Amino acid sequence: MHYGGIYEDEIVGKAYDRRLMGRFLGYLRPYRLLVVVTLLLLPPMAAARLAQPYLLKLAIDNHIVKAQMEGLPLLAGWFLLLILAESIFTYAEVWLLQYVGQKVMFDLRLALFSHVQRMPAAFFDRTPTGSLVTRLTSDVEVLGEMFAAGIITIVGDIMVLVGIIGIMLWMNLKLSLVTFSVLPLLVWVAFTFRRRMREAFRQVRARLANLNAFLAESIGGMAVVQLFNRQAREQEEFTRLNASYRDANLPVISWDAALYALVETLSSVAVGIIVWYGGGEILQGALTFGALVAFIQYIEKFFSPIRDLSAKYSIMQGAMAALERIFNLLDREHGESLGSTRGEGASLLPPPLMGGGEGGRPVERIEFRDVWFAYSGDDYVLKGFDLTIRRGETVALVGETGGGKTTVTRLLSRLYEVERGSIAFDGTDIRELPLTALRSRIGVVLQDPYLFTGSIEFNISLGDDQARSRAEEAAHIVGADRFIRHLPNGYGEEVRERGVNLSAGERQLISFARAVAFDPEILVLDEATASVDTASERLIQEGLRGLMEGRTSLVVAHRLSTIQDADRIVVIHRGEKMEEGTHQELLAKRGLYYRLYQLQFKD
């Protein structure tokens, strides 16, 4: 058994091709000057290279055959000069190419990353981390290979080719035509291989992404794998993915080898043809001896760029497959982005400002009106949910697990979009507000705290200046400073990936302090004290009492004791609001809340 379609990245089947290259050239645009210089360097470089055999021919025909020593040193001097010129041009060329290539890769990575920042939360529910990391790193690296192999020099190679063809034709028309007779075969083979190679490379890239997705998950869940003794099975699954990646690569190698060998063979066959045909010409006196030697040399020079091209051919096809994936991600925007933020257009670059008070006047009324929402299909998680929260109120959401409480909080900050109905701030649909303006009003303590690698202080402030100035105060309010001060480096203590070097409660306190440090107008607490002990919870409640004063808050809690200060309590059951009222009212009603309450405090 294997885990079927879960680790199967979709393979981009679209035939992008010509548009692909055009689009890629767009990324060269900022460096067009350098590209032009690179291209301009090519003719002198080619000339320097091409002139060398010609000098050799002169040396043989005019000096060596005629036994004329003088003039030969001069020729040698020229030869040296040409070598020097070729070296300098090559240096400049290689360097420029790498420069442009690296810059383009830099830009592409940045574009991809920025694009990912614009993706809605739902995108991440479905896209494995490892596969995204692969797109931003390995897929872009493949393009680097293309630059290192010198795609721009392809232009140069082609120029050299044209030059050589010209000279050869000029030197001897018939001989040249005979030589070129081998070319059509080559072209035909190259075209036939292209489609298959591309397809194979698509497989290669997709399978690598799958492999990395699986790997990333395994690393995250290693404790579970080991606790459940599942190493053998995980290894088995990994082997399957690994082997399928390997097997996708093997045919490419064979085609590549065939193409390479073909070019090489053809170049020697061409020499054979020259000897055959040219030999006859010499015997008839129709060709000078030097010309034949030069011709053979030209053939070698002629095939060397073709050989280069064929060696680069598979790299190019690989790069094209990678480009498809890159552009495919960049195109993912449509239909899946956070929808229109009619107020602002693109919401890519939110202003750094976070402070609650500065987003305009405070919101008087938050209204959920007949909100329907499904994560997928018509499997509704919220069904006609209504709720009004007035400024300064604390509203508690309680209810059975899986009832949709977290979903309500997510919709409020538009991590997901309401499907039917609306959420409005003072009558304005939140979809009309710029995303950042909306989100910077809200401070959320997520149910699953996430900590970054970096210092504790960074984890509270997330690098925001205003939040940083409030970090210690915030930590104090939620009672986190007690343990932070105990750490060897205090607020500077390094947090490791996901906060593994802290206890779960400590992580939650830091995530709580984060919300407080951003001083939001609306505070959303999703099970914010689920992992802390009673004493810490009391501290938090005391600290928060002052903070919540005049602040609108939405509190989700299973422990009813934590919501005793709420102005109103809303009971959600399977996506519907069942009851609403104050603690006393709900108890008096003897409904769902009453039953929950009885259970928790039975004695």
Ligand X SMILES: Nc1ncnc2c1ncn2[C@@H]1O[C@H](COP(=O)(O)OP(=O)(O)OP(=O)(O)O)[C@@H](O)[C@H]1O
Applying CB under 6 A, among 10, 14, 44, 125 the residue interacting with ligand X is: 125
Q: Does 124 bind ligand X (CB under 6 A)?
A: no
Binding mask 176-205 for another protein (x = CB under 8 A): ------------------------------
CA angle 522-393-469, nearest 5°? 35
CB 47 within 8 A of CB 156: no
- Which residues 261-300 are close enough to bind another protein by CB under 8 A? 261-262, 264-269, 271-273, 275-276, 278-280, 282-283, 289, 292-293, 296-297, 300
**Distance between CA 422 and CA 429 in Å, rounded?**
6
Q: Which is nearer to another protein, 22 or 352 (CB)?
A: 352
**Distance between CA 49 and CA 297 in Å, rounded?**
12
Applying CB under 8 A, among 103, 194, 390, 420 the residue interacting with another protein is: 103
- Which residues 501-560 are close enough to bind another protein by CB under 8 A? 501-506, 509, 514, 518, 527, 530-536, 538, 558-560
Q: List, in sequence order, every residue forming a beta bridge with 178; answer none if it has no partner.
A: none
Q: How far is CA 292 from CA 54, 59, 270, 276, 600, in A?
A: 12, 14, 13, 11, 100
Q: Which is nearer to Mg ion, 381 or 433 (CB)?
A: 381
Q: Does 88 bind another protein (CB under 8 A)?
A: yes
| Least distance between ligand X and beta carbon 307 (Å) | 53
Tokens of 515: 């919300």
Type of residue at 465:
D
Applying CB under 5 A, among 127, 176, 310, 406 the residue interacting with Mg ion is: 406
Q: Which is nearer to ligand X, 65 or 500 (CB)?
A: 500
Q: Does 577 bind ligand X (CB under 6 A)?
A: no
Name the one residue in this structure whose structure tokens are 């090519």. 42
- Which residues 437-456 are close enough to bind Mg ion by CB under 5 A? 447
CB burial of residue 22 (10 Å; 0-12, 13-18, 19+): exposed
| Least distance between another protein and beta carbon 120 (Å) | 8
Tokens of 507: 């992580």
**Distance between CA 5 and CA 11 in Å, rounded?**
12
Applying CB under 8 A, among 10, 22, 30, 137 the residue interacting with another protein is: 137
Give me the residue whose beta carbon is nearest to Mg ion. 406
Q: Which is nearer to another protein, 427 or 535 (CB)?
A: 535
Applying CB under 5 A, among 102, 503, 534, 598 the residue interacting with Mg ion is: 503
Binding site partner of 132, from Mg ion, ligand X, another protein, none, Cβ cut-off 5-8 A by kind? another protein
Q: Does 101 bind ligand X (CB under 6 A)?
A: no
CA torsion, ordered 442, 443, 449, 455, to nearest 10 deg: 130
**Distance between CA 449 and CA 384 in Å, rounded?**
29
CB 72 within 8 A of CB 305: no
What 8-state DSSP symbol labels residue 346?
A: -
CB 419 within 8 A of CB 590: no
Binding mask 407-446 for ligand X (x = CB under 6 A): x---------------------------------------
Q: HEC profile for 152-212?
A: HHHHHHHHHHHHHHHHHHHHCHHHHHHHHCCHHHHHHHHHHHHHHHHHHHHHHHHHHHHHH
Q: Which is nearer to ligand X, 497 or 542 (CB)?
A: 497
Q: Does 466 bind another protein (CB under 8 A)?
A: no
CB 436 within 8 A of CB 347: yes
The count of C-alpha atoms lying within 13 angstroms of the C-alpha of 213, restricted to the half-sphere facing its C-beta, is 23
Applying CB under 6 A, among 288, 455, 531, 541 the residue interacting with ligand X is: 531
Type of residue at 455:
S
Closest CA to 517 of 526, 509, 527: 509
Q: Which is nearer to another protein, 16 or 441 (CB)?
A: 441
Q: Does 564 bind ligand X (CB under 6 A)?
A: no
Binding mask 431-450 for another protein (x = CB under 8 A): ----xx--xx-x-x-xxx-x
Q: Which is nearer to Mg ion, 153 or 553 (CB)?
A: 553
Q: Does 469 bind another protein (CB under 8 A)?
A: no
Tokens of 119: 């993706």
Q: Does 267 bind Mg ion (CB under 5 A)?
A: no
- Which residues 457-516 are close enough to bind ligand X by CB under 6 A? 500-506
- Which residues 112-131 are close enough to bind another protein by CB under 8 A? 113-114, 116-119, 121, 123-130
| Least distance between ligand X and beta carbon 396 (Å) | 13
Q: Which is nearer to another protein, 16 or 499 (CB)?
A: 499
| Least distance between ligand X and beta carbon 409 (Å) | 8
Name the one residue in this structure whose structure tokens are 């003072």. 426
| Least distance between another protein and beta carbon 18 (Å) | 28
**Distance between CA 513 and CA 452 in Å, rounded?**
14
Binding mask 556-585 for another protein (x = CB under 8 A): --xxxx--x------------------x--
Q: Does 340 bind another protein (CB under 8 A)?
A: no
**Distance between CA 25 and CA 66 in Å, rounded?**
53
Q: Does 491 bind another protein (CB under 8 A)?
A: no
Q: Which is nearer to Mg ion, 288 or 501 (CB)?
A: 501
Tokens of 239: 């082997």
| Least distance between ligand X and beta carbon 116 (Å) | 17
Give me the residue whose beta carbon is nearest to ligand X. 505
Q: Does 413 bind another protein (CB under 8 A)?
A: yes
Type of residue at 552:
T
Residue 333 in 3-state DSSP? Answer: coil
Distance of CA 519 to the CA centre of its chain: 32
Binding site partner of 349, from another protein, Mg ion, ligand X, none, Cβ cut-off 5-8 A by kind? another protein
Phi, psi of 444 (to 5 degrees): -110, 135
- Which residues 367-396 are close enough to bind another protein by CB under 8 A? 375, 377, 379
CA torsion, ordered 458, 461, 467, 469, to nearest 10 deg: -30
Q: What is the CA radius of gyration of the chain?
A: 35
- For another protein, how many residues bind (rule: CB under 8 A)? 192
CB 108 within 8 A of CB 27: yes
- For Mg ion, how many residues bind (rule: CB under 5 A)? 4
Residue 449 in 3-state DSSP? Answer: coil
Footprint on this chain of ligand X (rule: CB under 6 A):
125, 375, 381, 401-407, 447, 500-506, 531
Footprint on this chain of Mg ion (rule: CB under 5 A):
406, 447, 503-504
